[in-house]
Amino acid sequence: MTHAQWLPEHVARLRPYEPGKPIDEVQRELGLPRVVKLASNESPYGPSPRALAAARQALQEAHWYPDAGGYYLRTDLARYHGVSPQEIALGAGSTELVQLLVTALLTPDDHAIVVDVTFPMYRLALEVGRVPYTVVPLRDGQYDVESILRAVRPNTKMVFLANPNNPTGTYIPRPDLEFLLESLPARVVVVHDEAYVHYVDCPDYPDGLTYYRRGAPVVVLRTFSKVYGLAGLRVGYAIGHPDIVRGIDTVRSPFNVSHVAQAAARAALADGAYVRTVVEATRRQRAWLTQQLTELGWPPYPSQANFVCFQVEGDARAWSNRLLREGVIVRPLGFFGLPTGLRVTVGRPEDNILFIEKLRKLWQASA
C-alpha cells in the first residue's frame, strides 16, 4: 500500500502548505555571506523587550501544562477591546482559528464563500472539512462585493474576508463592507480576518469590531504574529458571539496556546509604545518600496499591510529563484492563486535596499 492509498481522497488531492527554506540552509547551499528573508510577513523588528522578558520568565514554568482556558490573556484582551472574556477564543495563530471555525460551525451540508487570491488556509480548512464553497474572483486585486452576494446560496453559512487581504494588501472600504453585511442573510457568519490591521492608515478602513458590537454576525480574527513579532510562538485570537466561542473551545485542543506564548502575548499587548514604533517604521518603508517598484515599472497593489505585492512578466517562481540566488527570499504566489505575483515583506531599510538593488540587477540583465 502506498502512502497516498492511506489518505482519504479529499486529503490526498490537496497540496500541503509550501514552507520556505531556513535562512541558514539557503546560505549553506548557495554559499552566500548574507541572506535576507522577505517572504513570510514577519516583523523584522522582533518582539518588544517586555515580551521577551515575559517569555524568558515563563520558561521557568515550562514543566507545567499551560492554562487551558487562557484566563489572564483572555481577560487582558477583553479589557483591551471592550468585550467580555466569553467573547474571545485563543488559537495557535489565527490560522488554527480558521480551522476551528470551520470545524465548529460548518458541515458538508453547508456552503462557504472565499475569493480566488487570498490566504490559502481558508480553502484548505473547507476542503478538509468537506464543506462545499464558491470561489469569487477579485477585480483588479480588489474584493467585488456584488460578486460575493451573487455567490450566496440558500445553505451559505460563512464568508471569509481577509481585510487587508493577503497576498494583495488591498482592503474592503467601509461602505462596501457595510453594504455586504446589510445584504447578507442573517445566518451567514462573516469571518473578518484582521491579521494586518495595525498597518492600516486609510481613513475608510472598517474595523470589524464596530459591526460585531452592533450585532452583525461577524467573527474578528487577530494575531500576535505580525506587528507584535511573536510569529514563532503561535498565538492569535477570535472575537465573536459567546456561542461561537463556546463552539471553538469545544473542538480545539485544550492546550493549544503555550504558557510562554500567553505570557509573551500579554506583555506585547501592554507595550503600545513599541507597537507604534514598529508601525511607523513599517509604513515608511512600505511607501519607499512602493515608490521604488513603481519606478522600475512594476507598480504594486496599493497595500495596507506589512508587505507589497506586484506582478511580473512570466512565471513568478522563476523570478523568486533568481532573487534567491542573489540572497533575497521572497514569496511567489502560485499557491495563493496568482502565478505571476510576488509578495515581498517590508523589512528593515537595509533589507529593502538590498532587495531593490538585486531586483534592478536582474531586471537589467533580462532587458
What pLDDT score was predicted for residue 12?
Answer: 79
DSSP assignments along 132-165, one per residue: -EEEEPPBTTB--HHHHHHT--TTEEEEEEESS-
Residue 139 pairs with which residues in a beta bridge? 142
Distance CA 60, CA 68 (A): 18
CATH 3.40.640.10 for the 49-271 domain, yes or no: yes
Architecture in CATH of 3-46+273-366: Alpha-Beta Complex (3.90)
With beta carbons less than 8 A apart as the criterion, state whether 256 and 241 touch: no
pLDDT digits (tens, 9 = 90+) for 135-185: 999 999 999 999 999 999 999 999 999 999 999 999 999 999 999 999 999
What pLDDT score was predicted for residue 35?
Answer: 85
Does residue 65 sit in helix, strand or coil? coil
Domain boundaries, the chain: 3-46+273-366, 49-271
pLDDT digits (tens, 9 = 90+) for 8-24: 888 877 777 666 667 76
Residue 1 has pLDDT above 50, yes or no: no
pLDDT digits (tens, 9 = 90+) for 241-275: 999 999 999 999 999 999 999 999 999 999 999 99
- Percent helix, strand, coil in the chain, to 5, is 45, 15, 40
Residue 291 has pLDDT above 80, yes or no: yes
Residue 319 has pLDDT above 90, yes or no: yes
CA distances from 175 to 178, 179, 205, 206, 252 (A): 5, 6, 9, 8, 35
For the beta carbon of residue 251, count every other beta carbon within 10 angstroms. Answer: 13
Distance CA 367, CA 365 (A): 6
Does residue 328 sit in helix, strand or coil? strand
Average predicted confidence (pLDDT) for the chain: 94
What pLDDT score was predicted for residue 3?
Answer: 57
Distance CA 148, CA 81 (A): 29
Reported as a pLDDT band with limits 50, 70 and 90, residue 347 is very high
The amino acid occupying position 86 is Q
pLDDT digits (tens, 9 = 90+) for 71-130: 999 999 999 999 999 999 999 999 999 999 999 999 999 999 999 999 999 999 999 999
